[in-house]
Structure 1
Amino acid sequence: MSPSDWLSRVVTFDSNKPGIRQLASVLGILLSLLAILVVPSARISAPFYAWSGVALVLVLGVVAYLVPWDRIASTWVLVIPLGTMLGFGLFRTGTGGATSMFGALIILPVVWIAAEEGRRYIWIAALATNAALLLPYFVGEASWYDGQVIRGYFAPIVYLVVAAVINELAHRARVQLAAMRQLAEERSRRLLESEKSAGVLRRTQERLRASEDFNKSVWAAAIHEAVIVTDLSGGIVAWGPGAAAMLGPVAESTEGTRSLVDFIDRERLLAAHGLTDCPDEQDSETIFTRFVEATERSGGSTSELGLVTVDGVVVPVHISCSPRRSGDGTQVGHIFIAADITQANEVARLKDEFVGMISHELRTPLSSILGYIELVRDDEAPLTDEQLHYLGVAERNAHRLLDLVGDLLFAAQVEAGKFPLELTTVDVGAIVTASAESAVPVAQRSNIAVHVEIDDSDLDVHGDATRLGQAYDNLLSNAIKFTPAGGSVTIRAVREHSEIVVEIVDTGMGIPADEMDKLFTRFFRSTTSTRQAVQGVGLGLNITKAIVAAHRGTLGASSIEGEGTTFEIRLPVASDEPAPEAVAGV
């Protein structure tokens, strides 16, 4: 297929390929279903109409591919977009009616219909839109006295204008493409005539100039993010207006003269690699390589790093990196897109301060409540069994609230990177044993067996015994909570070369694979835990990960839903090197 034929099919929506044109509507309905699953405010209010609409769109998608349309009159192909518009109208009726957030789907068949040759398709698109939008009122899912009914009359007017524009553009595109084909044929003939080669070159230059003008307009519009293009070594090739606004220098003073390394915050870069210093930190090539690695580590997704302005101010940014390639596919550089997250970080900081403040305010009255409960228990006046029971319930719930307040405070300290550690040489085996002994009574009440396996080798690490115990307690508590009666939990501690490895393995309900990447997020609770009504607020794993990271260790997890979960903590063994006085969390 020649380039002109391909362009023709894209612009004029080649009527011989209705299956391809229907694909957008199929994808639209599938994405809408996905939105219903993940967006709380999106819901199905009338299942019959909603699923009827989905089925109709999908069936028409199959019909669009299977029917040999080249053997049928071209006007019959309009059955597909008209039926699709009815399907979207039904789906809109079943997902909130006049207030549905999926009404915009109707634009897809409108574009198809309006792009057909002939002015009458403008009115067909507008009338069909009017019928689809008023469908909730026709079937009784919405009242004709509802103020939203105006959408059914006003929106088609808008769609009428849109359809007119699309129809005109499609018509012009057809005319232009026909002209382009004619010119291409003429050019192929005239290439044999050297005296007309200058005209062909001139047209080519004009098209190139138009393309360059378009690219420049797109480039100039990128003002809210810093777009920086470099060569393979970090030399700045292009410096977008957003980069000038964020970092200071204009393009004239950076392009071809400076390196991106000049604007990289090295402290944040080293932290992204888990390092505190770099022996060759003066090597620009090494710094740029580390920077690219940090931005590409998550498969091209954004990474949080820092860029430095001309005034020396560090701007925290989310930055992504994509390869820049030449026409033959060879990589010749990188394209960086950075977004300033200063305001987002400030919002997060204020949120954490608020949590910390509220937690402090709650801790004092809770401690007072527990104190008065203790005084009542110790009072010489005898209490009835019922009164003692009520006091026990109040005391247990007060302790639960106090533990939750403590977790909230610690989570706020973790987020601020300010929680202290009292580091000494500690025996991991002893800490694991103590945690297991504390967990046994709870496990026995739930008929869960707890197995402890401690290696005889040296299990010493530089760490805070209290915090490490808290980490192991959290994992053991989770394992017991998520394991049904008759199951087992195993905790083992071994030494592997220069690391101490602690594993907590349970035979519980497991974690869905698509939720594993959110496991250590604050306040995250898996669907399995919510289905089983397991108590918790989703702070334990986040706190545990922060404690492990503060000890320069790693925390990993693997799980099979319905079979169990394994958590693994790896800590470096104790060495002769002095341990840091305090380490910030993640």
Structure 2
Amino acid sequence: MLTVRARVLLRALLLAAVVVASGFLAWWSWRTSSALAALGERSVIESTVLLVREKIDRVEATVIAGDNAVLHLVNPDDLDTLAQRWPDLAERISPTVRSVLVLDEAMRPLRVVAHREDDDRSELVGWVTGRLLTELHLATEPPGAHRHWHGAIDGRSVLLSYSTRETAGRRYYVVLEADLDYIRNELLPKLFDDPLARGRFNITDENNRIVIGRSLTAAGEFLVSTRFPTTLYKWRLAIAPRQAPELEASARRRGVVEGSYVGASLLVILAGVSFLLFAARQEEQLNTLKSDFIATVSHELKTPLSLIRMFGEMLARERAPTPEKRAQYLEIIVRESERLSALIENVLDFARLEQGRAAYEFSSADLGATVLRDVEAFRFRTHHERPALVTEIADGIAPVRLDARAMQVLLFNLLDNAFKYAGDTDTVVVRARQEGARAIIEVQDHGPGIDPEDARKIFERFYRGRAVRSGGPRGTGIGLSLVKHIARAHGGDVTVHAVAPTGTLFRVAIPVEG
């Protein structure tokens, strides 16, 4: 058999295990749900990454193909042919190239050819031979190398392709200016004019300004962006999945919902654990009260039985010296027998209430007459001289529906309680009257009164007041619980009140007929 301390420790360990297991289950469920959602989101993002790479590769391949087409036409010994042929072929073989600059080994311009007649040829010469000469590193590049330079000149985005060539032991350099207007207005829109990317892409420069496309901030974390690696490396291409706004909103909602679920689950778990702890403590207290009840009832039974046995033996052995003593002994035996019967009836009535087997037989009755009859029965049973039992029964109380036996149990318990605590005071008063639609029964003593803490719990089963627990009059703790149950079974209730300067008043209110 486990000790109380061991039971408390075991219960605490089990509750801690329940909390940990429940918390782990909630966390695992959230983690699994999030992982499944993330898997779907990752597949969408991965497909978008592939789309971004495919678009970037196509843009760069188109730009480089245009560069190579022009570079194949450049012959330093016959630059007139370049000037004559390329402008006519440009639209077909190199629409991405705007102009061509050929330099000799000393970085002197040999020829500048523009795609269109109205293009400013001097602009490219000025850039290459001036501010960009040191940045392009033309003299250090190996023959055949093909490089790109992307940046801003005078607030304008510029893309240059340059290559070092060598022929007959002579080195020369070719610089191509890309036609960014064509790339921006024709090439890129064509590449992105498909159901997968239409309206869901943009290209931004190094200052995060949109070059082409629209804002994609609604895509949130589902936006995929990558820089052009070789040609337009100052620009960044971004593509949002078609479902990006919905995915972003769904992710936010899921975070809120799942967080709410986990929080609610933890609150439910904590509430459940708190309730279990409260219930366990209540059960522990109830078990303690039951143990006290058993000990008290045993004592209450033992006292009258001991008296009955003692005086019965004295009578059996003819130890009563006079007829008066014999009559006195018999009276004690009868009184203790009645006390024993009342205690047993109380316990049996309470047991029936606990098992839900209490049955009442209601009938119309005169409350005043019922109270007077029960008071006289109590007076006859107790033979008390002090305190005096006084009745104050008002006239004109309307009939009430009551169970006569149950009402006697109610009144006997209230009177027994009053006599226990009245001590040597003068009177215990029983009143009956009508207030509106209710009949009132009051039992008032002039004893030491009731502690406010006891007043809140006094009708609970097995509860005994502080005075009892500290050595005052004994009691089983079930009498007032019976009173409350009987009052409510009659459609009423019972309350307790402190009376100035000292004393306690119990008031029972039940409805009258009609």
Tell me if both proteins adopt one fold, taking TM over 0.5 as the criterion: no
* TM-score, normalised with respect to structure 1: 0.36
Q: Which of 1 and 2 has greater Rg?
A: 2
Structure with more of its chain in strand, by fraction: 2
Quick one: higher RCO (CA 8 Å, sep 6+), 1 or 2? 2
